[in-house]
């Protein structure tokens, strides 16, 4: 875990590296792991000290597990809670859907509080060789006269002493605030809504060892009477607690949903013996934005690469962002390592331009379809139409839906569901980057 000696770095000003990573969430720590493993001298700067809270549902689907395994994180150690799949609850029905047996992804998910998860991943980055400095708040990118990034300015330590760090490449992994990207003029696409989500921990012996991630699709907004344009969750943590929350797109006319009111309306519907009542609350209710649908582009400009929430990489299908953050981080790290093997100048620049191209190749059409589904369905009616009683009664339809929502496909095509989903995504016209 992270120790005092990581705090604020050395006394020397203008510390240098080949790559600076801003933010040690899943995106930043994963980028640092992959860069360090590729032999790149990487400096990971984090404004907080570890361990720290991060508002999240703490749910990890097989795509996240895949990334953890690729990084060599020991997921058999104590503290990881495995799950078999998802349980969807809607209109008085419920179905359990096991994670699919795919050749390319694990067949289980995990949960782990972000309090532990981020600490562990940052320590993993340091063990891989990254220099981690905590309590360093990056204030802006440094640029040369041509506008190319040459490092970052920051404040460090309790006295907020100003400091500069230099590197020819910077990875912005600073989350939803996207401060580093904004400083370089990379604005969010305002046509894309930003969802919001809130979570609270409860002590619940009845649910803490549930083998499924439970999701509720028939919730209402009590102040408007409309369907919640999102869903609720109860995720088991295996340590006596559950993570309970709601995520929602803005309602029609872009009005934000009152998540607290919706949660207070929902919880009394849950069985009393689950214990999700005030007296068992283990935290306050906290919320945060969900930047989704690849809402900040391009993901590379003038020496700055965006990964994770800073690039709006949360899936519009599910609200999941950890897997996407770690996967994009690996792509970015590989492209950076190859780019650094070229001399600075147009040839290196050409290599770095491959990053947005690769993100677009992997996710462009899938996210575009998801953005459409979010606009036309989720933001108006939530997930209830997808979980129509006929769908709930049809295992093949349900399995297809679950794999669409969680991006659970094999490539090359392995079964009929893969074939359907690949064909569906291929129908989406590619967007100009």
- Please report whether residue 306 would count as binding ligand FAD according to CB under 6 A: no
What is the pairing mode between strands 59-60 and 136-143?
A: unpaired
Contact between residue 224 and residue 71 where contact means Cβ atoms under 8 Å apart = no
Containing 213, the helix (H) or strand (E) segment is strand 212-216
CA-closest candidate to residue 296, choices 420, 429, 188: 188
Nearest distance from C-beta of residue 329 to ligand FAD, angstroms? 8
Nearest distance from C-beta of residue 29 to ligand FAD, angstroms? 8
Evaluated on CA atoms 252, 256, 259, 261, the torsion sign reads negative
Phi, psi (deg, nearest 5) at residue 59: -95, 130
When binding is defined by CB under 6 A, the residue of 112, 179, 207, 302 that contacts ligand FAD is 179
Angle between the N-to-C axes of helices 26-37 and 62-71, in degrees from 0 to 180, rounded to the nearest 10 = 30
- Please report whether residue 312 would count as binding ligand FAD according to CB under 6 A: no
- Please report whether residue 174 would count as binding ligand FAD according to CB under 6 A: yes
Of 124-132, 191-199, 342-350, 420-428, which segment contacts ligand FAD by CB under 6 A? 191-199
Binding-residue pattern over the window 350 to 389 for ligand FAD, x denoting contact by CB under 6 A? ----------------------------------------
Nearest distance from C-beta of residue 180 to ligand FAD, angstroms? 7
When binding is defined by CB under 6 A, the residue of 49, 51, 54, 211 that contacts ligand FAD is 54
Contact between residue 61 and residue 324 where contact means Cβ atoms under 8 Å apart = no
Of 85-93, 248-256, 317-325, 395-403, which segment contacts ligand FAD by CB under 6 A? 317-325
Binding-residue pattern over the window 234 to 273 for ligand FAD, x denoting contact by CB under 6 A? -----------x----------------------------
Q: How far apart are the first and last CA of the chain?
A: 40
Separation of alpha carbons 55 and 196, rounded Å: 11
Give the angle 152-156-161 at the CA atoms, nearest 5°: 95
| CB nearer to ligand FAD: pick between 310 and 348 | 310
Nearest distance from C-beta of residue 71 to ligand FAD, angstroms? 14
Structure tokens at 286: 């906290």
- Please report whether residue 173 would count as binding ligand FAD according to CB under 6 A: yes
- Who's near 202: CB < 8 A, 6+ residues apart? 241, 242, 244, 275, 276, 277, 280, 281, 282
- Please report whether residue 120 would count as binding ligand FAD according to CB under 6 A: no
Contact between residue 197 and residue 217 where contact means Cβ atoms under 8 Å apart = no
In the window 126-165, what residues touch ligand FAD (CB under 6 A)?
137-138
Which parts of this chain interact with ligand FAD (CB under 6 A)?
A: 22-28, 45-48, 54-59, 137-138, 173-175, 177, 179, 197-199, 245, 288, 290, 308-309, 314, 320-323, 325
């Amino acid at each position: 875990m992270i120790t005092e000696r990581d705090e604020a770095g050395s006394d020397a000003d203008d510390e240098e590296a080949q790559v600076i990573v801003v933010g040690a969430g899943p995106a930043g720590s994963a980028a640092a792991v992959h860069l360090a493993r590729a032999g790149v001298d990487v400096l990971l700067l984090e404004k907080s000290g570890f361990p720290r809270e991060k508002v999240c549902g703490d749910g990890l689907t097989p795509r996240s597990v895949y990334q953890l395994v690729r990084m060599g994180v020991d997921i058999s150690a104590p503290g990881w809670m495995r799950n078999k799949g998802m349980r969807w609850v809607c209109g008085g029905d419920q179905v359990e859907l096991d994670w699919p047996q795919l050749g390319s992804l694990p067949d289980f998910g995990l949960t782990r509080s972000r309090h532990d998860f981020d600490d562990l991943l940052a320590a993993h980055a340091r063990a891989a060789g990254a220099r981690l400095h905590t309590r360093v708040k990056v204030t802006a990118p440094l640029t040369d006269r041509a506008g190319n990034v040459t490092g970052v300015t920051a404040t460090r330590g309790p006295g907020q002493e100003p400091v500069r760090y230099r590197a020819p490449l910077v990875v912005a992994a600073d989350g939803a605030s996207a401060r580093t990207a904004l400083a370089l003029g990379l604005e969010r696409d305002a046509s894309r809504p930003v969802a919001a989500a809130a979570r609270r921990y409860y002590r619940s012996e009845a649910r803490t060892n549930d083998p499924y991630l439970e999701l509720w699709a028939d919730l209402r907004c009590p102040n408007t009477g409309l369907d919640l344009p999102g869903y609720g969750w109860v995720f088991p943590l295996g340590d006596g607690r559950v993570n309970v929350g709601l995520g929602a797109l803005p309602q029609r006319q872009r009005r934000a949903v009152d998540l607290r009111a919706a949660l207070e309306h929902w919880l009394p519907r849950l069985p009393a013996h689950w214990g999700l009542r005030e007296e068992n609350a283990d935290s306050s209710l906290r919320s945060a934005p969900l930047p989704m649908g690849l809402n900040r582009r391009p993901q590379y400009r003038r020496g700055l690469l965006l990964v994770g929430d800073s690039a709006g990489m949360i899936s519009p299908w599910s609200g999941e962002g950890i897997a996407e953050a770690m996967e994009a981080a690996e792509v970015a790290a590989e492209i950076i390592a190859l780019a650094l093997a070229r001399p600075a100048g147009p040839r290196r620049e050409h290599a770095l331009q491959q990053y947005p191209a690769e993100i677009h190749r992997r996710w462009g059409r899938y996210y575009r379809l998801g953005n459409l589904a979010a606009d036309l369905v989720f933001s108006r009616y939530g997930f209830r139409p997808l979980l129509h009683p006929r769908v709930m009664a049809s295992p093949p339809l349900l399995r297809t839906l679950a794999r669409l929502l969680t991006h659970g496909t094999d490539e090359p095509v392995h079964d009929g569901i893969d074939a359907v989903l690949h064909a569906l995504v291929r129908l989406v016209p590619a967007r100009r980057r």
